[in-house]
Structure 1
Amino acid sequence: MPANASSDPAQADPHDYCAIDFGTSNSAVAVPAGAGMELVPLEPKHGERGRTMPTAVFYVAEGKDLHTLPKLYGRAAVAAYVDGTDGRLMRSMKSVLGSALMEQHTDIGAGRSVAFGDVIASYLLHLKRAAQAHAGREIERVVLGRPVFFVDDDPERDAAAQASLEDAARAVGFSEVRFQYEPIAAAFHYEEQVTREQTVIVADIGGGTSDFSVVRVGPERRTRVDRRADILASHGVHSAGTDFDRHVELARILPALGFGAYGPPRKGREPLEVPSRIYFDLATWHLINTVYRPQRVMEIAAMRDDYADPRHHARLMTTLRDRLGHALAGLAEDAKIAVAQGGTHEIDLFEIERDLVVSVSEDEAVAAISHDLERIVQTARDTARLAGLKADDIDALYFTGGSTGLRLLADRLAAAFPNAQAVHGDRFASVATGLGLEARRHFAAA
């Protein structure tokens, strides 16, 4: 408990709460302001964009006082990585929740390691401090957003994921921790603008999960403290923006490094496909750093004769030695965004090999992510079915989350609910704003 905080609940600051949208790609925080809630400018120099911050931590591995684990957050963390500062960039930390990695330590350079749970706690502490600095008071209570499923089809691991996130929140000083589904929070934000009662399906599609909720909203409902009866169904699938990027990378970039290639013919048998695990790890954000371990690099180096085209092996080795995995993931994301409105995008892989360029067309990107798109659209349909509704019963389809900017996905979802008005909310702040409304509704009434 802070030194200036009272142990008497009657003397506690009634505004000592916040709401945190801890996202796979970006995060945001809302705090009480006047009679409402406002988003904290986490990175003020970036203006409106600074209301959200990349969910990224960079552990510095050069300079003085490395024993204190110096680190950077958000855009500064990404910039340090891009600038080539010696250290370790951690992104997509939310994806680790519920996995075996939560029990492990990871190397952060200069002979140091840190537990994944401590990485998440460190980031939450940074958000908490930013909220306190903006609000001018200690903050001890929080509503945290969570996906409908941290882990698909595994209730035990899903519960463990929420417990780990709660442990991290309590470790940084939150004495009361509540959770709300992210798409339901977005529904509360949408409700602020409706003038009549509606049944809305919220599509919250971010970096790690695609979540849907069917919620009754309306002017008379928004003042109610208990909204459980208005939540008709929630459902989700662990497939979203980072999966799109991964599949684009596997389909269009990594074949230039040997993914899907074959080895030389051997006497008496057909050529064998080169091992693929290294490529899948190289295309998965939270596994990229595992491919740089000395033992794995030595194993890949010894596989040179398993490649029919020696250029593939040479490019892969350059990628590992120069630690270009995150850069390739970024190029895949850029390509996905570039072709979202049609056309073709060229990806320059000059850091791997001079004059090495691959292209991605809209059709190729669609082919790469088609399975994900179908899963997401079917999950939306299933959510309406779980609510006991037909597609035609949905009045509005409310889009939030960074990946709803992908036109192909938004169009397919809209086609699944032909009578619903398609409404695009704030892709990066709707959930945080809705979580703020939930926090105010609960804590202010307590």
Structure 2
Amino acid sequence: MRSSRIGIDFGTTNTSIARAEGGQVTLAHFAAQAGETPSYRSLLYLEQAREKNRPVVHSYTGPAGIERYLAADHDSVGTQGRLIQSLKSYLPSKTLTGTEVFGRRYTLEDLIARILTDVRVAAEKQFGHEIRSVTAGRPVRFVGSDSEEDDAYAESRLRQAFQIAGYEDIRFQLEPIGAAYSYEASLERDELILIGDFGGGTSDFSLLHVGPSFRNQEDRGKSMLGTSGLGLAGDAFDAKIVRKLVSPALGAETLARSLNKLLPAVPNWIYANLERWHYLSFLRTRNVMEILGRAEKSALEPEKITSLITLIERDLGYQLHQAVQRTKVQLSLTEAAEFYFRDDDLELRAMVTRAEFEGWIADELQAIERTVQKLLDETGVQPHQIDRVFLTGGTSFVPAVRTIFHRMIGEGKLRTGNEFTSVAYGLSLSA
């Protein structure tokens, strides 16, 4: 069996890996407390412990990283643990080369490689052979990328991370193409399809021919009509929920008296970091805690600042994100939902309607629609010529997102795939 028939989708939030053999695809499953899962959280938890009177740093990734993080003591600023997430979103940045943790410098590539190594080792145990060759997904446009040069730089860094993790032969394929292969696997006739792949940080779109006539073509590039992408997706929607529901409950609109004037109690940049929930650990510094301590004493609503301090001191970014996710999912199912977050004595609760949420994300929805329209304009394809729209990724279940495609392409053409594993499934077939 050729190990090159391996597809891996390293995502901003989740990673999955699949093997194709004899036309059959097997997804790797990973151990977790709640049972096995085919999606591996793309996060890293570094923890410093003393062993034989000297500090030693241990790393945990995926489900094990989450479990270790949740089991750790986060009640003091001095807790020796660091949760690092959304590493993929930093790949295009030429200024962010790495970070220092517990006095040691780590490059971005090293941190990503830790996740990719653990995914490879777990998959090797399940598949029963070494994995050295892989077809890896990449977005059409990386988060934060402003040019093709930025995308090429991001891809080169991702390639280096794969190499550090022990992968020797790496071939990159666009993530929406992986989704297309996944959809094509069940087709009995040719179709022209529009693929929408919504990740945590990017939304990618492709127009291509799929089906029996194209399935065995050696060069699938001939069936590709065009691609387009933008650097926003689920994380941007989450940020709006934090801005509109969470931050006000934590003092974002609270004033404080200063020389007979009323001024914002807390600088806005702190709440901006709160919106990027994986930045919460970066707020656990002496400088930030001193700012918040002074704000707590002078604020007109000190209890809200107290809640913000508690959230940061306990490093509750992951738990906050889970509450935001639950709210977003519920809004995809019902016309209203309650945001609810609790950790011991800290409790946040607020109601939101689907209409309100759609108003908050109106700019993002328009950006998605413009990107799809640009793809249609550049390829000269008319909506009636498109047979199917295949959407994958968690954001594809947001009703307002689906409405874009119903309105632009037509009712009854929408199909969806598994939000976390469709791309890896298809990448293994493309290998």
Kindly state the Cα deviation for residue 393 of structure 1 after the two structures are TM-superposed.
2.2
Task: Say if 1:323 and 1:46 are closer, same or farther in 2 by CA, change over 3 A.
Answer: closer
Cα deviation 1:404-426 (Å, max 9, x = unaligned): 12233223322221166111122
Task: Say if 1:355 and 1:40 are closer, same or farther in 2 by CA, change over 3 A.
Answer: closer
Task: Say if 1:42 and 1:247 are closer, same or farther in 2 by CA, change over 3 A.
Answer: same
- Which secondary structure does the structure 1 equivalent of 2:37 belong to? helix
Kindly state the Cα deviation for residue 342 of structure 1 after the two structures are TM-superposed.
1.8
- Which secondary structure does the structure 1 equivalent of 2:288 belong to? helix
- Spell out the pairing of 1:6-85 with structure 2 (5 A cutoff): 14-43=2-31, 50-62=37-49, 64=51, 69-84=57-72
RMSD: 2.6
Kindly state the Cα deviation for residue 67 of structure 1 after the two structures are TM-superposed.
5.8
Q: Is contact 1:315-1:352 (8 Å) kept?
A: no
- Spell out the pairing of 1:31-430 with structure 2 (5 A cutoff): 31-43=19-31, 50-62=37-49, 64=51, 69-84=57-72, 87-100=81-94, 102-107=96-101, 114-150=106-142, 151-264=144-257, 267=260, 271=263, 274-304=266-296, 307-351=299-343, 356-418=348-410, 421-430=413-422
Q: State the alpha-carbon separation in 2 of the partners of residues 264 and 423 from structure 1.
A: 55
Runs of 4+ more than 6 Å apart: 44-47
Q: State the alpha-carbon separation in 1 of the partners of residues 308 and 199 from structure 2.
A: 30
Moved more, 272-281 or 158-167: 272-281
Give the unaligned 5+ runs of structure 2. Answer: 74-79
Q: State the alpha-carbon separation in 2 of the partners of residues 355 and 95 from structure 1.
A: 30
Q: State the alpha-carbon separation in 2 of the partners of residues 96 and 18 from structure 1.
A: 25
Kindly state the Cα deviation for residue 355 of structure 1 after the two structures are TM-superposed.
5.7
Moved more, 155-164 or 220-229: 155-164
Kindly state the Cα deviation for residue 343 of structure 1 after the two structures are TM-superposed.
3.9
Moved more, 30-39 or 16-25: 30-39
Larger strand proportion of the pair: 2
Moved more, 36-45 or 419-428: 36-45
TM score, norm. by length of structure 2: 0.89
Kindly state the Cα deviation for residue 101 of structure 1 after the two structures are TM-superposed.
6.1
Of the two structures, which has the highest relative contact order with CA contacts closer than 8 Å and spacing of 6 or more?
2
Give the unaligned 5+ runs of structure 1. Answer: 1-12, 440-446
Q: Is contact 2:176-2:197 (8 Å) kept?
A: yes
Moved more, 306-315 or 236-245: 306-315
Q: State the alpha-carbon separation in 2 of the partners of residues 408 and 95 from structure 1.
A: 24
Kindly state the Cα deviation for residue 353 of structure 1 after the two structures are TM-superposed.
5.3
Moved more, 424-433 or 352-361: 352-361
Q: State the alpha-carbon separation in 1 of the partners of residues 268 and 430 from structure 2.
A: 45
Q: Is contact 1:200-1:217 (8 Å) kept?
A: yes
Q: State the alpha-carbon separation in 2 of the partners of residues 240 and 394 from structure 1.
A: 23
Kindly state the Cα deviation for residue 302 of structure 1 after the two structures are TM-superposed.
3.5
Percent sequence identity over aligned pairs: 28
Q: State the alpha-carbon separation in 1 of the partners of residues 285 and 265 from structure 2.
A: 23
TM score, norm. by length of structure 1: 0.86
Q: State the alpha-carbon separation in 2 of the partners of residues 264 and 199 from structure 1.
A: 62
Task: Say if 1:43 and 1:102 are closer, same or farther in 2 by CA, change over 3 A.
Answer: farther
Moved more, 247-256 or 381-390: 381-390
Q: Is contact 1:344-1:359 (8 Å) kept?
A: yes
Q: State the alpha-carbon separation in 1 of the partners of residues 60 and 19 from structure 2.
A: 23
The letter for the 2-side match of 1:80 is: R
Kindly state the Cα deviation for residue 75 of structure 1 after the two structures are TM-superposed.
2.0
Q: State the alpha-carbon separation in 2 of the partners of residues 265 and 81 from structure 1.
A: 39
Q: Is contact 1:394-1:419 (8 Å) kept?
A: no
Kindly state the Cα deviation for residue 338 of structure 1 after the two structures are TM-superposed.
1.8
Q: State the alpha-carbon separation in 2 of the partners of residues 333 and 164 from structure 1.
A: 30
Q: State the alpha-carbon separation in 2 of the partners of residues 259 and 274 from structure 1.
A: 7
Kindly state the Cα deviation for residue 369 of structure 1 after the two structures are TM-superposed.
1.9
